[in-house]
Amino acid sequence: MRLSLITLKKRPDSDDVSRRETLLDGDSFRVGRGSDMDVNLPDVSVAYHHATLTIVPGGVKLEGVGGAPIEAGGKAQADVVLRPGETVRIGPFEIGCEAKPEHSDGAVTVQQVEVAATTHRSPQRIADVLPSRRRLSWVLVLAALVAFLAWPLSTILLRTAPDPSSVVVNAMVAPQKAADRAGTIDTLVAYVKSETEGGEKPAAPVYTPMESWWLSGPMSNVHAGLAENCSACHLRPFEMTTNSACLACHAETKQHIDVASHADAANAPELARCGACHKEHVGGESPIEEASAVCTDCHGDLKAVLPATTLYDVTDFALQHPQFRPTLVTGVGTNVDGTLQPTVERAPLDPKFPLVEQSGLKFPHDVHLNKDGVRGLGRVADKTFDMNCQTCHVSQADGELMRPIEMERDCGYCHELVFQPDNIDVLRELPHAKPVEVQEIVHDYYSARVLEGGLNVPGAPADSARRRPGQVMSLAARSEGLEWASQQAELELKRIMEVSLCGDCHVAQAAAEPDSRGRTVWTVQGALLQRHWMPKAWFDHGPHFAMDCVSCHAATTSKSATDVLMPPIENCRDCHKGEQAGASASSECLACHEFHVDRLQNWSPPHGSAMVERRNAAERTTVARTTQ
Amino acid sequence: MSAHVSFLAHERFRWFKRSGWLCLLVIVAYSAYAPIGGRNGGTWVGYGLGGLGALIILWLSWLGVKKRGFAAGATTIRGWTSAHVYLGLSLIVIATLHSGFEFGWNVHTLAYALMMAVILSGAFGVFAYVRYPRMMSENMSGQSVAGLRREMSELDARLARLSQRLPDSFADQVKIALEARMGGGFFQLLSGSSRRCPAARARDAARVLADGLTDAEQQASATEMLAAFSRKAEIAARLRRDLSFKAMMDVWLWIHVPMTLALIATLTAHVFIVFFYW
């Protein structure tokens, strides 16, 4: 049989199709990829021998070899009979049947209808597989601006600034739980509702979670409650925090100097802000700056900023700090009315030139701190007492000052003010610090003894000594007796004042002129005990508990109360080695000096230099009080 | 001076030196100034460092835009690139000292982190531009991508032709080899791996098949086919490596550019916030 094989080829760039006819002879014809096939279909998707073609009446028949598929009408089939005009597909080739031509028994057409895909084009560049950088950038920019700026700002601008008093209250109230507060969306919904349905407009949210992203650093512990209440301190946008925000809570804060004049003096107005020294958003316990630089920035060379100053420069406790200058009584004068007027001065503790304090007290510390014990006096003269510093000096609760010495409590056990002439049984206790009363008591005693008679004292008037009870005393005898009693009292008083009782510890002076009754006027100088030696500093005995008192206060060798037992700065520097020293006890300014001193006024009208006067007055008052 | 000078060494490291001096100046200023409350962005030196850093960031961003449009000669572009790289690196010092080493979960630290992401991605870019061009030319060994692609299509045609003389099992391998692709997804592009290259697999399979052939003519065809498979595998591997080098030189820009824009937005927020709540 003869087959007409017509190869159709579409010309590129046109619709023309060329026909090339080949005549094949045989019973059946092999169709496939193989180069030795009758009908060669050169494509790898076609099997080597894909199908066998035979001519059948009215057309051709294609039988797949070994199950090779022939695609007819979109379905894969094992064998197909093609009538003229029908087509099937094998791989990229279309096989068609044409009407039987005259010169052969059948005709098939073969046309490659699709070009075998060579290589698939995969993404070649990173730009083909990633989203556009421009779009990505816009998304990120918008996300950042909305999340970090617009969202928090919307609530900040909507809400009204709190009034200062509510800030104080708010600062003490724990912040509302995040879950309990209305968020931005809740507020918006409520706002739209109030617009459409009427009713009250919602309050702006107090705080959005995104606002916490604005915190430039952690709050200090004491201000942690304000972390969600930015406007408590930041009262107005684009304005540094003002003192009024701080003083809303800290109105009671005391001041060491007038901050405004401080700023003027340094010609640095920014120093008048609380924030000049107190830095928040840096964590820590409180925004109190411990570093000495806060003070030494100016005080290291104070004349440079304040030429008129009388203050000494301080750069570092160990390197440059003036010697301690205790406040002490350097002299005592007497006022016109007879009261004592102490002279109070500050003087440096120079070991070469020991200070002398005129407290008026006679008190040898060494005797009272005798290792072998201290012999008692008067009724306890047969006993020996072990005394130490704490026997008299007890630290106050604040640790700073010692409890004031009280004669009756601290000295009176041994130093009893007992007036007991030899031959009477009943002793009389004399009042402390009341010389006039003492004189009266002593005079009264002798007068009474003379008048009651039976006085067994050598040299006593005979009438007073031998008169029997009940006998009336003659006027002459009475006068003579009282004269004698007065002399005796004066003698006794001289002894009491100068030697035995008062004179034991105090200096007593007899006035040049007797009083109207002819009696000597005695003045006993009260002990002007210094209570606060260094009032410009603050010393806590508490942390120093492990040290012996005498390691700072040389009491065991002090023979006189005129010794000033305050330690000089060198003692402190043994441990407080300065801020720059590695192993050192704290040496910052604030370790001893407070800026806001409790004893002083509230943060109130400026007082500047007047403060020094006030302090001096306060010191005098303290001294005067201990004098009485 | 040689025709090719790396942008890193431009004008005898002029920008390296300038940036170095800038860093030194900044370090000295930071060390010398010990303000109350510790060193941080809220002090005068802090404001100064922050302003300097922000200006550099904006300028470098502007350079990034401008650089693309330069019509000027290679020298100028090289100079700007050099400045961009060294000033960008100096930002690490400036911004870190601006922060005073205070970091937290806040928008301020976010800006810092974004800046570091931009700088580090940029540093990778520098690394890529120094390393990959040489590797690319080594990889191509004097040939062009277009030439290799043309050769590959010729190989494909030859394989199709050879398959006509060989049994179906070979045609199957040819089919597999035709599937060989260059490029692909993100990770394929970056790795440039040819570990599962279809051409190589086809070659290995065809080698086994060829041992089973008896016909001398077919054996000759099979030998020819094996050679074509091998060559195709080799070309494919080269082209993949080439794509991977190009991808490496590009990919960092997807961090560098969007992060720069995000940084500018966050920086704006940062500056606004610190002065809003001064």
Q: Are strands A51-56 and A28-32 parallel, antiparallel or unpaired?
A: antiparallel
Question: A290-315 in b/e burial notation, b at 16+ Cβ within 10 A?
Answer: ebbebbbbbbeebeeebeeeeeebbb
**DSSP letter (8 states) at residue A440:** H
What is the reported pLDDT for A168? 45
Mark residue A170 as left, alpha or beta (left: phi above 0; alpha: psi -120 to 50; beta: remaining).
alpha
Question: Nearest chain B Cα to A118, which residue?
Answer: B178
Chain-chain contact of B40 with A145 (C-beta, under 8 angstroms): no
Question: What residues of chain B lie within 8 A of the CB of A150, using their CB?
Answer: none
Place of tokens 């640095």: A268
- Give the distance from residue B84's alpha carbon to the nearest chain A alpha carbon, in angstroms: 20
Q: Which long-range CB contacts under 8 A does A166-172 form with residues at least 24 apart? A: A167/A229, A167/A232, A167/A245, A167/A248, A167/A249, A168/A248, A168/A249, A170/A229, A170/A232, A171/A225, A171/A226, A171/A229, A171/A232, A171/A249, A172/A225
What is the reported pLDDT for B259? 92
What is the reported pLDDT for B119? 94
- Give the distance from residue A322's alpha carbon to the nearest chain B alpha carbon, in angstroms: 24
Token pair for A74: 């979109």
Chain-chain contact of A33 with B258 (C-beta, under 8 angstroms): no
Chain-chain contact of A44 with B186 (C-beta, under 8 angstroms): no
Question: Nearest chain A Cα to B232, which residue?
Answer: A119
Token pair for A455: 């006085």
Question: What residues of chain A lie within 8 A of the CB of B106, using their CB?
Answer: 212-216
Question: What residues of chain A lie within 8 A of the CB of B181, using their CB?
Answer: 119-120, 122
What is the reported pLDDT for A611? 35
The pair phi, psi for residue A111, each rounded to 5°, is -140, 130
What is the reported pLDDT for A540? 83
Q: How many CA atoms lie within 13 A of B156 on its CB side?
A: 23
Question: What residues of chain A lie within 8 A of the CB of B265, using their CB?
Answer: 140-142, 144-145
Identity of residue A415? H
The full set of domain ranges for chain A reads: 2-112, 142-251, 327-365+390-402+528-627, 418-524
- A63: enclosing H helix or E strand: strand A59-64
A243-286 per-position pLDDT tens digit: 777 777 776 666 656 666 666 666 777 777 788 888 888 888 88
The closest CB to that of A123, out of B159, B171, B183, belongs to B183
Question: Nearest chain A Cα to B170, which residue?
Answer: A44
Chain-chain contact of B179 with A130 (C-beta, under 8 angstroms): no
- Whether the ipTM is more than 0.90: the answer is no
CA distance A556 to A574: 21
CA distance A318 to A321: 7
Chain-chain contact of A133 with B257 (C-beta, under 8 angstroms): yes
- CA angle A97/A101/A102 to nearest 5° reads 160
- Give the distance from residue A196's alpha carbon to the nearest chain B alpha carbon, in angstroms: 34
Token pair for B126: 């520098």
Specify whether the CB–CB gap between B159 and B228 falls below 8 A: yes
Positions of chain A with pLDDT lower than 70, given as ranges: 115-120, 158-184, 202-210, 251-266, 338, 422-425, 465, 468-470, 597-628
- Give the distance from residue A576's alpha carbon to the nearest chain B alpha carbon, in angstroms: 22
A 10 A CB-CB count for A543 gives 11
Specify whether the CB–CB gap between A496 and A419 falls below 8 A: yes
Chain-chain contact of B107 with A214 (C-beta, under 8 angstroms): yes
In terms of CATH architecture, what is A2-112?
Sandwich (2.60)
Q: What is the 3-state secondary structure (H, E, C) of A442-490?
A: HHHHHHHHHHHCCCCCCCCCHHHHHCCCCCCCCHHHHHHHHHHHHHHHH
CA distance B264 to B278: 21
Question: What residues of chain A lie within 8 A of the CB of B274, using their CB?
Answer: 216
Residues 6+ apart with CB under 8 A from A1: A25, A26, A27, A55, A105, A106
The closest CB to that of A279, out of B37, B159, B174, belongs to B37
Question: What residues of chain A lie within 8 A of the CB of B190, using their CB?
Answer: 126
What is the reported pLDDT for A136? 92
Q: Of A483, A484, A503, which is closest to residue A493 (Cα–Cα)?
A: A503
Chain-chain contact of A48 with B171 (C-beta, under 8 angstroms): yes
Question: Nearest chain B Cα to A117, which residue?
Answer: B178
Question: What residues of chain A lie within 8 A of the CB of B240, using their CB?
Answer: none
Chain-chain contact of B258 with A214 (C-beta, under 8 angstroms): no
Number of CB pairs, chain A paired with chain B, less than 8 A apart? 171
Question: Nearest chain B Cα to A212, which residue?
Answer: B106
Chain-chain contact of B110 with A148 (C-beta, under 8 angstroms): yes
The closest CB to that of A140, out of B247, B258, B275, belongs to B258
Question: What residues of chain A lie within 8 A of the CB of B184, using their CB?
Answer: 122-123
Q: What is the 3-state secondary structure (H, E, C) of chain B?
A: CCCCCCHHHHHHHHHHHHHHHHHHHHHHHHHHCCCCCCCCCCCHHHHHHHHHHHHHHHHHHHHHHHHHCCCCCHHHHHHHHHHHHHHHHHHHHHHHHHHCCCCCCCHHHHHHHHHHHHHHHHHHHHHHHHHHHHHHHHHHCCCCHHHHHHHHHHHHHHHHHHHCCCCHHHHHHHHHHHCCCCCCCHHHHHHCCCCCCHHHHHHHHHHHHHHCCCCHHHHHHHHHHHHHHHHHHHHHHHHHHHHHHHHHHHHCHHHHHHHHHHHHHHHHHHHHHHHHCC
Chain-chain contact of B163 with A33 (C-beta, under 8 angstroms): yes
Q: Are strands A327-334 and A17-25 parallel, antiparallel or unpaired?
A: unpaired
Question: Nearest chain A Cα to B110, which residue?
Answer: A213
B114-136 per-position pLDDT tens digit: 999 999 999 999 888 888 888 88
- Give the distance from residue A281's alpha carbon to the nearest chain B alpha carbon, in angstroms: 10
- Residue of B39, B161, B164 to mutate, interface with A, max A Cβ within 10 Å: B164
- Give the distance from residue A535's alpha carbon to the nearest chain B alpha carbon, in angstroms: 27
Question: A434-461 in b/e burial notation, b at 16+ Cβ within 10 A?
Answer: ebeebbebbbebbbebbbebebebeebb
Positions of chain B with pLDDT lower than 70, given as ranges: 1-5, 37, 67-75
Chain-chain contact of A122 with B250 (C-beta, under 8 angstroms): no
CA–CA distance from A271 to each of A16, A223, A275, A295, A369 (Å)? 96, 22, 8, 11, 51
Question: What residues of chain A lie within 8 A of the CB of B104, using their CB?
Answer: 215, 217-218
Chain-chain contact of A216 with B42 (C-beta, under 8 angstroms): yes
The closest CB to that of B102, out of A217, A240, A291, belongs to A217
What is the reported pLDDT for B265? 94
Chain-chain contact of A239 with B180 (C-beta, under 8 angstroms): no
